[in-house]
Structure 1
Amino acid sequence: IAKEEGAIVVAMVSYPFEAERIRRKRAAEGIERLRETTDTVIVLENDKLIKYAGNLPVNDAFRTMDMLIAETIQGITETITKPSLVNLDFADLKAVMEEGGVAVMLVGETIKADHKPESVVEDALCHPLLEADYRGATGSLIHVTGGSDLTMKETNDIVELLTYELDQNANVIWGARINEDYNGMAKVVAIMTGVEPRWTFGGVYEERKERVGANSASGLSALIPVYHR
């Protein structure tokens, strides 16, 4: 009904654990049906909780996922509702999310003061709850937050690094905001739409190519060869 009334309908769903074999099959079928009545479906895999919060009590582990979802929604909402250096508005959100299909979300923060673009992108790509292969995605909504020391080049580099493997005709929209709490740091929240389901659902496409070197200063060269030339 909401979609028929002109609203942008975004569903955020969890994909069952690998051990839940029949539920995974039913979930995949359900997501396909859900795509018919929504604009974008963001898929989160429960299996990632085992890697990220496997030693926590069950309630705390699921609460971690809930907090991440809330953080992402807040980040995207603030890109529209709060003043930014590079503003996004509802029209931008609609352009990326309308008929966006299956989507994944990325959240990353710098883990070191140097090489801000590389470190924040590496953190986003390697987040154990969100890691996903989004090559060929057709849309991207990105928001970068940094301190007063955040430069235009750093912001542009973050966007380029995140979008390098998107479809050549992908609709990429980004914004940036200054927050003094992030001096010497940067944070990125992104939603990639138009992702092929086989890259998202673990039971269908298990292989994840390791493209970021965990201990190499130039580890992202495997992902963005041109950037490091």
Structure 2
Amino acid sequence: MYKILLIEDDTSLFQEIKERLKQWSYEVYGIHDFSQVMQGFAQVNPDLTIIDIQLPMFDGFHWCRMIRDHSNVPIVFLSSRDHPTDMVMSMNLGADDFVQKPFHLDVLVAKIQAILRRVYHYSTEESELKTWLEATVDKERNRVTNEVGAIELTKNEIIILSMLIERKNRIVTRDELINRLWDDQRFVSDNTLTVNVNRLRKKLAEIGLGGAIETKVGQGYMALEKL
């Protein structure tokens, strides 16, 4: 049974979403003190987090940043605002999807199911360790280690890296990566994938692998077999 943390200050909407998710056997938890969101997050230790952008005290973007400092848990944003920058910012902060209010609850459930299936089933099916450039890539723990050190990756980053490694020295197109990462591409700008790849590169640079992913302009990316 998956645990979902719903960070939503509209009590009627919270209860509506909670009741529908309970029908699908999800455990749903909320936040009572919006100045203590991270404490609530730590207590629940959810499998997926849903965050409204407009919240008391601090907005959802703030809490997304805080969560990303500690966890790679999938994040879905809810928002009544329809400005494209909100959608782009959500993805750039590492969110997995963006749902604009008003929405049909069945759509939200379908998105949640798709994310959980993609993130956790992918991890189960692809849990073996991989060796790449004398580094160990642990797809189950979202971790890359070598003699220099270790880095922790988000779910999106480990999926990108895994796809590239599986096809070393061959180009993986941007469309292939976007299709694998995001079910609903309406909210994915061309820059969103670039941001994810650049973030992955920065982390790889921490263990001496900063130049291990090449950009093929107008095509996609390629993981090198040798440095």
Q: Shared fold (TM-score greater than 0.5)? A: no
TM-score w.r.t. length of structure 1: 0.36
Of the two structures, which has the highest relative contact order with CA contacts closer than 8 Å and spacing of 6 or more? 1
TM-score w.r.t. length of structure 2: 0.37
